[in-house]
Structure 1
Amino acid sequence: METFKIEGNVPLKGEITPQGAKNEALQILCAVLLTPEVVTINNIPDIIDVNKLISLLKNLGVKVTKIAKGSYTFQADAINMEYLESEAFKKEGSSLRGSIMIVGPLLARFGKGYIPKPGGDKIGRRRLDTHFEGLINLGAKFRYNKEDHFYGVESPRLKGATMLLDEASVTGTANIVMAAVLAEGKSAIYNAACEPYLQQLCKMLNRMGAKITGIGSNLLEIEGVTALNGCEHTILPDMIEIGSWIGLAAMTRSEITIKNVSWENLGVIPGTFRKLGITLEQKGDDIYIPAHTDGYEIQNYIDGSILTISDAPWPGFTPDLLSIVLVVATQARGSVLIHQKMFESRLFFVDKLIDMGAKIILCDPHRAVVIGHDFKSQLKATTMSSPDIRAGISLLIAALSAKGTSTIQNIEQIYRGYENIEERLKSLGAKIVSE
């Protein structure tokens, strides 16, 4: 098991460019299954989860060609549907949560789609009901093998339908949209997710010949077409990585510029960090964060009560950044309540921060109160293990700000979501080595 050794309390400086968005890439890659024509995708991040999905697509019969760093062509003109019932697929598909999004495209184009219970972060219940209820609404027959944890949907021809999603699931909406674009007739999807990733998927599908309206809203209307064409698509910069670098700059009191962030797609992320007292400056399409040598102070509400930061479906604050916000708050002036509404196990990494000296009260699986140190008491180095992608990067940020040398185990979790992170941190002056 690979580990990071990090010498903390080292000021950083420089520029860093965010990778392509992981969550968008997983959707976009699945969409190549909707057409036999060539699809070119740019700005694909070189991370474990994305590379696993590309490997799965290859095993399905998709022709994959790398044309430059982060740019590939995909052609799904000879799909091997028998692979879906192989033991190899059951093993490969179960190691990646994003694999669930191949079901909608395969169902729409080939009349059937199968998937083993997907893997991914262990952050609480992540049910798949929204995905399959939406596909059933479009006319699919559903089956589930409890012994093998194997899901299947089949339909010779999907038909458009009006539906209300029971939750605004990003991957669930993506799966249903990719099925509905080739369904017969019109579909209306209420309570649809509207994250930038989903907007990007819909825009790409429209360039391929789909007819989707309402993009960016929670009502998507789709007029089915009989076939889709190839296209070229460029993935947005990863907003979660951008938020991670903002947190890193604040915690290490470093002067950092984050390049080419696509400001118009960041939503409330900059404003949420500003509520923690962090100074952010927009310079063109970059974010400049000065060194916070005097620290940063959490804003209270107008009546003086403690600030609450909670996650919500877009355009609310993304749950993937709550771990970062929590870590950043440990060295702020003031206190904040972190309310993680979506996943009941995502805050369980705070015991590792408490071991480092952070003042955190875990109220229940969803809420934690953080009492900031104002840098008067530094976090102390320790040995810890990364439980998931976002907790992993949060612990890494904590270690970079701590006094002494920390060890982080199970860093494969971090590699799942962050490209070439060791070298990129070193370019800012971080003292970090993998072993």
Structure 2
Amino acid sequence: MADVVIPGSKSETNRLLFLAAAATGRTVLHRPLVADDTEACARALAALGYDIDITHAGRWAVTGRPEGPAAPEASIDTRDGATGARFLPGLVAAGRGVYHFTASEQMRRRPITPLLNALRTLGADIDRDTLPYTLRANGLAGGRLVVDAGVSSQYLTALLLAGPLTRTGLTLHVTRLVSAPYIDITLKLMRLFGASVERTDDVFRVEPGGYTSPGEVTVEPDASTASYFLAAAAASPGRSVTVPGLGTGSAQGDLGFARVLADMGAAVGLQPDSVTVTGPGRLTGVTADLHHLSDTMPTLAAIAPLATGPVRIENIANVRVKECDRLEACAAGLRTLGVPVVTGEDWIEIQPAQPNAALVATQRDHRIAMAFSVLGLRVPGLELDDPGCVIKTCPSFHQLLGDLTAQWEKEPVS
């Protein structure tokens, strides 16, 4: 059995950077994710005048400023990162100053207008509806908002994180919500920093009062990144992988991908502090609703041709507005490999096939690159046009996958 130590969670790391910056006291993050998305967020905080030290890869430290950014004016580049682009405006809007936000061309194409409109309602002056824009901050009033988070749960997370920084608190009525488990991560970490936040069905109430640092926090392994290694085992008959540090106590919803693999015949062992997957003789077909696990959609699509029956993935319209249109990117990649695929507005169905060797277009999307790398374990000659795009969330991905296969080659098949 092979172990894979997965880098820290992007979702946790960028939420913790926000919380640490907003909190009273100094926060040390152990095992943060060191990748392009998180480094962009950390460097944005530095540009805003926060005291942040990211010189040690395994330990980042942030001294908070409850009053807001020290810099009265700053330019912020969140690069490709959606979490930084969507979380940081609420942080600066709670302070005082003028802040110029920009991002990569890829990120500029992704939706952000609903969040900017919400911040305007709370008191921010924002000159445009899309990136790049300038935000003039004079504090956030608080109040009641209706939030449509059906395209991205990050809109809701951004407003929740800003809630304790408002003058009167925030009540959020949510009409739609995708990727709901990410909200559980947000609430868990907010409470760790002393926030008072309550949920009743689709209504969230956040009390004012700010945050207080807990001192030290250890970041969990990233469950979305873990999905590729769990899928690699599931697609390799008789091979097993264990991911330590990610178990039943995790709030990361993408750990639920292990249950999808179990439905396809893989043996799954979920312990308090680890998850193990062993591949069956062959995976079976499945119909899976990944509405709340949408980051794992490319992972499932990539291994789908190896199943004995069709794999249908449903309720995934929101994957069309990620780094690329992931539904079409997966369909195009599979068709390039000779796999029969049919798609709809919010679903994809993949037939069993023996994929051919070919060059797969990643669309500069880290999740497309990582997912098809897993299929490449079973398809000699499969190549990616941009394997390096994994730096967004897991720079060490190809090394980790290579190390896993090297471990398997030294072990007998179970």
Assess same fold via TM > 0.5.
yes
Structure 2 Cα separation of the partners of residues 250 and 218 of structure 1: 36
Contact 2:90–2:162 (8 Å) recurs in 1: yes
User: Hey, what does 1:393 align to over in structure 2?
Assistant: 370
Provide, for residues 226-254 of structure 1, a one-character-per-residue CA deviation record: whole Å limited to 9, x for no partner: x5333333323212122222211122332
Structure 1 Cα separation of the partners of residues 382 and 258 of structure 2: 29
Contact 1:348–1:365 (8 Å) recurs in 2: no
Deviation for aligned residue 1:371: 0.9
Contact 1:237–1:262 (8 Å) recurs in 2: no
Provide closer, same or farther for how the CA distance between residues 336 and 204 of structure 1 changes in structure 2, counting only shifts above 3 A. closer
Contact 1:208–1:229 (8 Å) recurs in 2: yes
Q: Identity across aligned pairs (percent)?
A: 15
Which 5+ residue runs of structure 2 have no aligned equivalent?
Answer: 408-414
Task: Read off the aligned partner of 1:49 and give its amino acid letter.
Answer: D
User: Hey, what does 1:43 align to over in structure 2?
Assistant: 31
Structure 2 Cα separation of the partners of residues 222 and 199 of structure 1: 14
Provide closer, same or farther for how the CA distance between residues 212 and 174 of structure 1 changes in structure 2, counting only shifts above 3 A. same
User: Hey, what does 2:49 align to over in structure 1?
Assistant: 61
Provide, for residues 361-410 of structure 1, a one-character-per-residue CA deviation record: whole Å limited to 9, x for no partner: 2x34543221123xxx3x232223322111111111111210x3333232
User: Hey, what does 2:381 align to over in structure 1?
Assistant: 405
Structure 2 Cα separation of the partners of residues 381 and 102 of structure 1: 42
Deviation for aligned residue 1:287: 2.1
User: Hey, what does 2:284 align to over in structure 1?
Assistant: 297
Deviation for aligned residue 1:145: 7.8
Instruction: Tell me, yes or no, if structure 1 residue 421 matches structure 2 residue 397.
Output: yes
Instruction: Tell me, yes or no, if structure 1 residue 329 matches structure 2 residue 298.
Output: no
| TM value normalised by structure 1 | 0.79
Which 5+ residue runs of structure 1 have no aligned equivalent?
Answer: 1-12, 300-306
Give the 3-state SS of the residue equivalent to 2:383 in structure 1: strand
Instruction: Tell me, yes or no, if structure 1 residue 263 matches structure 2 residue 248.
Output: yes
Give the 3-state SS of the residue equivalent to 2:295 in structure 1: helix
Structure 1 Cα separation of the partners of residues 373 and 272 of structure 2: 29
Structure 2 Cα separation of the partners of residues 357 and 172 of structure 1: 38
* Length, aligned pairs only: 389
Task: Read off the aligned partner of 1:311 and give its amino acid letter.
Answer: L
Alignment RMSD, CA only?
2.9
Give the 3-state SS of the residue equivalent to 1:81 in structure 2: coil
Give the 3-state SS of the residue equivalent to 2:211 in structure 1: coil
Provide, for residues 81-139 of structure 1, a one-character-per-residue CA deviation record: whole Å limited to 9, x for no partner: 3552x4xx4xx3354333321111111133665422565569xx632133123223323
Contact 1:280–1:289 (8 Å) recurs in 2: yes
Structure 2 Cα separation of the partners of residues 218 and 24 of structure 1: 23
Contact 2:267–2:279 (8 Å) recurs in 1: no
Match of residue 166, structure 1, among 128, 145, 148: 148
Task: Read off the aligned partner of 2:88 and give its amino acid letter.
Answer: I
Give the 3-state SS of the residue equivalent to 1:40 in structure 2: strand
Provide, for residues 196-240 of structure 1, a one-character-per-residue CA deviation record: whole Å limited to 9, x for no partner: 54434434333434322229x643211111x53333333232121
Any residues of structure 2 matched to 1:216-365 within 5 Å, and which?
218-225=202-209, 227-231=210-214, 232-253=216-237, 254-264=239-249, 265=251, 267=253, 268-292=256-280, 294-299=281-286, 307=287, 309-312=288-291, 316=292, 318-339=293-314, 340-344=316-320, 345-349=325-329, 350-361=331-342, 363-364=343-344
User: Hey, what does 2:412 align to over in structure 1?
Assistant: none
Task: Read off the aligned partner of 2:372 and give its amino acid letter.
Answer: L
Deviation for aligned residue 1:34: 1.4
Contact 2:95–2:137 (8 Å) recurs in 1: no
Structure 2 Cα separation of the partners of residues 61 and 140 of structure 1: 20
Structure 1 Cα separation of the partners of residues 55 and 79 of structure 2: 29
Instruction: Tell me, yes or no, if structure 1 residue 175 matches structure 2 residue 158.
Output: yes
Provide closer, same or farther for how the CA distance between residues 110 and 179 of structure 1 changes in structure 2, counting only shifts above 3 A. farther
Instruction: Tell me, yes or no, if structure 1 residue 368 matches structure 2 residue 370.
Output: no
Structure 2 Cα separation of the partners of residues 64 and 177 of structure 1: 23
| TM value normalised by structure 2 | 0.83
Give the 3-state SS of the residue equivalent to 1:277 in structure 2: coil
* Structure number having the greater helix percentage: 2
